[in-house]
Structure 1
Amino acid sequence: MKIPEGKFIYFASDNHLGAPTMEASLPREKKFVAWLDEIKTDAAAIFLLGDLFDFWFEYSTVVPKGFVRTLGKLAEISDSGIPIYFFVGNHDLWMNGYFEKELNIPVFHKPKEFIFNDTSFFIAHGDGLGPFDIGYKRMKKVFTNPFFKFLFKWLHPDIGVKIAQYFSVKNKLISGDEDATYLGAEKEWLIQYSNSKLKESHRDYFVYGHRHLPMTVDLENNAKYVNLGDWITYFTYGVFDGKNFELKNYK
């Protein structure tokens, strides 16, 4: 992808809309929509790296109530011709065609590589990557198993969504969330994972969400690890101008 002069690639992650309640997350949603409204004027593309919602499940004819401001703004931007790319997170991994059909937004369930102006990017939400995290990896296999998803669909949405929302907030193993404290490069799983991918082939940037910690860490051979932070505490996002990547804070 070539970035036109005066245009930018934008990245954001981990809004967790709906948490801890719809009412509590509404101011954050309005702030995020305001950001989207601002960047649409010079965005060449927008990447959303997962956990946009604290819970999302697509029944055959029903999606979770709420989030109309966000969905409407995304539809508007997509309809204007600006490409939006979505990577599912551990809280909204049950996407199954709604974004593609209704919003014309491609959805990725695995890491994906892109090249912008000859700069290579490895992009993912980040859950379940790298060593350890065995409990969550096992649980994710259950969550993504077609048989168990089929069984969950038979629950009435009023019941299924409430159960899922409860566990999304209360159960660390199911959510996959980690304590938002920097552990050091030698203990951060995503940094270890990025270093292992560098041994296969060079990438200039490894960009993730999931950890809720905005940071840029230098890796070998001038590669960089970037975590986008979140829209709960930091309200941070990434900007690539065709040459340089920068983390910024939306106020």
Structure 2
Amino acid sequence: MALPKGKKVYFASDNHLGAPTRKDSLPREKKFVAWLDSIKDDAAAIFLMGDLFDFWFEYKTVVPKGFTRTLGKLAELSDMGIPITYFVGNHDLWMNGYFEEELNIPVYHKPQQYLINDTSFFIGHGDGLGPHDKGFKRMKKVFTNPLAKWFFKWLHPDLGVRLGQHLSVNNKIISGEADAKFLGEDKEWLILYAKRKLEQQHYDHFIFGHRHLPMEIKLNEKSTYTNLGDWISYFTYAVFDGEKLSLEKLEN
């Protein structure tokens, strides 16, 4: 991807809309929608890096109620021709065609690599990567099991969505409550994962979400790991202007 002059690429993650309730998350949703509107004139592309919703499950003809402002704004930007890419997180990994069909937004379930203005990026949500996160890795195998998904979809949406929302908020493995503390560079599993990837191939930037902690860590002289933080406590996002990647905070 070659950026036109004056255009930028934006990255954001971990809004968890709907947590702890839709009413409580509405002010955060309005901030996010206003931010999307503010970047539409200079955005060459937008990468949403997962957990936009605190719980999301797509039945054949039903999706969770709410989030109309966000979905409407994404549809508007997509219709304007701004490429938007979505990476599922551990709270919305049951996406199954709605974003692609209704919003023209491609959805990825695994990290991807990109070349933007001759700068290489390796990006994804970040869940289940690296040598740790073992509890979630085991749980993810259950969540992504075709038989488990088949059984869940036969729950009435009123029951299934309520159950999913309850688990998302109250289960510490799913909620990521333990992820909000910096472990140190030698124990941060996404840093360890990025360093292992660098043994195989060079990337200028690794960008992940999931940890809910905004951080920029130099991996070596030429590579950097960036975590996007979240839109719960920090309201942070990353911007690439064609030459430099910066981690920025939404101004109130």
TM exceeding 0.5: yes
Instruction: Indicate the SS of the match to 2:237.
Output: strand
Letter in 1 for 2:216: T
Instruction: Indicate the SS of the match to 1:187.
Output: coil
- For residues 102 and 47 of structure 2, what CA distance do their matches in structure 1 show? 17
- For residues 36 and 150 of structure 1, what CA distance do their matches in structure 2 show? 35
Report what 1:41 is aligned to.
Answer: 41
Report what 2:169 is aligned to.
Answer: 169
- For residues 177 and 51 of structure 1, what CA distance do their matches in structure 2 show? 14
Q: How does 1:94-243 map to 2 (within 5 A)?
A: 94-243=94-243
- For residues 244 and 132 of structure 2, what CA distance do their matches in structure 1 show? 32
**Contact 1:121–1:203 (8 Å) recurs in 2:** yes
- For residues 5 and 179 of structure 2, what CA distance do their matches in structure 1 show? 40
**Contact 1:51–1:91 (8 Å) recurs in 2:** yes
Aligned length, in residue pairs:
251
Shift of 1:175: 3.4
- For residues 84 and 179 of structure 1, what CA distance do their matches in structure 2 show? 27
Letter in 1 for 2:174: I
- For residues 237 and 179 of structure 2, what CA distance do their matches in structure 1 show? 20
Letter in 2 for 1:25: S
Report what 2:69 is aligned to.
Answer: 69
Report what 2:85 is aligned to.
Answer: 85
Instruction: Indicate the SS of the match to 1:173.
Output: helix
**Residues 177-197 of structure 1: per-residue CA shift (max 9 Å, x gap):** 533111111000000000000
**Contact 2:179–2:212 (8 Å) recurs in 1:** no
- For residues 182 and 136 of structure 1, what CA distance do their matches in structure 2 show? 18
Letter in 2 for 1:113: Q
- For residues 119 and 76 of structure 1, what CA distance do their matches in structure 2 show? 29
**Contact 2:8–2:241 (8 Å) recurs in 1:** yes
**Contact 1:136–1:176 (8 Å) recurs in 2:** no
Shift of 1:137: 0.4
- For residues 177 and 218 of structure 1, what CA distance do their matches in structure 2 show? 26
CA gap of 1:174–1:249, structure 2 versus 1, over 3 A, is closer
- For residues 176 and 248 of structure 2, what CA distance do their matches in structure 1 show? 26
Runs of at least 5 residues in structure 1 that lack an aligned partner in the other structure = none
Instruction: Indicate the SS of the match to 1:178.
Output: helix
Instruction: Indicate the SS of the match to 2:182.
Output: coil
- For residues 101 and 132 of structure 1, what CA distance do their matches in structure 2 show? 35
**Contact 1:2–1:117 (8 Å) recurs in 2:** yes
Instruction: Indicate the SS of the match to 1:220.
Output: coil
Instruction: Indicate the SS of the match to 1:200.
Output: coil
Instruction: Indicate the SS of the match to 1:70.
Output: helix
- For residues 135 and 77 of structure 1, what CA distance do their matches in structure 2 show? 37
Instruction: Give the root-mean-square deviation of aligned CA atoms.
Output: 0.8
**Contact 2:28–2:231 (8 Å) recurs in 1:** yes
- For residues 110 and 211 of structure 1, what CA distance do their matches in structure 2 show? 17
Letter in 1 for 2:57: F
| Aligned-residue identity in percent | 70
Instruction: Indicate the SS of the match to 1:193.
Output: helix
**Contact 1:127–1:176 (8 Å) recurs in 2:** no
Structure 1 stretches of 4+ with a deviation exceeding 6 A read none
